[in-house]
Each structure stands twice: as C-alpha cells, then as structure tokens.
Chains A and B, each alone.
Chain A
Amino acid sequence: GAGVSQTPSNKVTEKGKYVELRCDPISGHTALYWYRQSLGQGPEFLIYFQGTGAADDSGLPNDRFFAVRPEGSVSTLKIQRTERGDSAVYLCASSPRGLAGGPGEQFFGPGTRLTVL
C-alpha cells in the first residue's frame, strides 16, 4: 500500500513569504506527527495530531508556525513570514495508534526540503 507522502519535495521561498507543506498519512492512521530536521541533527518534534485535534503542539517554535488536520487525514503545516532560520527538512510521520497501548510505530514520509532565501 501507499506510504506517507509529502508535497512539495522541495520548496524555495523568499524571506517574509508564506508557505504550506502538505502531508498525506497512511490510510487509517489516526496519529500524525510533524518534525523539523536541520543538517546533521535528528528530527525535532513540532506537533502531534490524534485525529483532527492537535494533542501536543509544544514543539512549534513560535506563533508563525501552525498546522491543521481538518478531516483527520491530510495535514498542512503553515509557516508565516518565513525566516532564513526556518530552512530545514520538514518530516511527517503517521502511526496506526497514537495512544499508549498500541505499538506506536511511526512511518515517515520523504520530507519537504524548505529553503528560505
């Protein structure tokens, strides 16, 4: 079956612009995660959805970052007034069960490489 997909694969934008990054999780997966990965670092947690609601958004760096998952499937990460420091690879992962009690294995998409000039 299809894995997690992310679009676009690459995004180049100018400082101050608005960008949207999309994640299509594996069908039926209720949990969805966004991470940010800088060069040479492990992924850094941003936000976690269980269904349509953001169960934990403590990793969002500031209020320029926002994410939605209106129907409990596709999610969009939105970044306003982009800054050069936002440049990174943004990874999405989904999991069949997000709550304690399941195996909790995460399946990752290929990521979107964001470059802010």
Chain B
Amino acid sequence: KQEVTQIPAALSVPEGENLVLNCSFTDSAIYNLQWFRQDPGKGLTSLLLIQSSQREQTSGRLNASLDKSSGRSTLYIAASQPGDSATYLCAVRLSGKTSYDKVIFGPGTSLSVIP
C-alpha cells in the first residue's frame, strides 16, 4: 500500500532564506508526482508536476526533484517571501497496467515566511 509522508510538518523561516521541503513515498511504482500549494480555506494550486521518467522540474523560484528508486522528492524554494506562506502538499499518482489513476496525498508541510 502506497504511503506518502512529508517532513517537516511545519516550518518557519525568515524572509529571503532558501528552503527544502521533503516528500517520501513507500512504493516506487508511480506514474507522476505533483506538488501543490494550499492557502487557508482554499483549494489546491498546482505548482510542479514531475513524470516518473523525469528527475526535476523548475518554475521560477521553485525546483522539484524526484528520485524514484529511493522514494523521495524535494521541493526547493529559493529566496523565500512572505507570500510563500501556505501549506505545501505532495501527491503521487499510482501507475499500473490498467487505467487506475488513484492519487495519494501526503499530509502537507505548513510553511511560514517571516518578514
């Protein structure tokens, strides 16, 4: 059974710092991994999606890496800003020989960037 964990559960950093959020999954047979941002009381906003054949994706100040063999992904945020404060969730899509498309989420990391 696929399980997804995220460390740390919460993180508080001063503005301008670079930071890394971690995501681990137990079964390496994934189709893709997606990082989301969730603001309080809101839905999820997609940040980056990495296909299983890819090693990393970049968008602006964000960089996500994927190491399937070790069951890990990291989200790197450069030069953090107060507007980055939110909960960050990773989600893995299971792969298989059928059209199975189940997505398993981690519990999230709550990030606070202090001005």
A: which residues have CB within 8 A of B? 4, 31, 33, 35, 40-45, 48, 50, 55-56, 58-59, 91, 93, 95, 98-100, 103-111, 113
Contacts and interface: CB of A to CB of B under 8 A. Distances in A.
A40 B32 CA distance: 24
Contacts of A110: 42-43
Contacts of A106: 34, 44, 46, 91, 103
26 contacts: A4-B43, A35-B105, A40-B108, A42-B4, A42-B89, A42-B108, A43-B91, A43-B105, A45-B102, A45-B104, A50-B99, A55-B99, A91-B44, A95-B101, A99-B99, A99-B101, A100-B96, A103-B51, A104-B49, A104-B101, A105-B46, A105-B49, A107-B46, A108-B46, A110-B43, A113-B41
Interface residues of B, number: 28
Interface in B57-109: 89, 91, 93, 95-96, 99-108
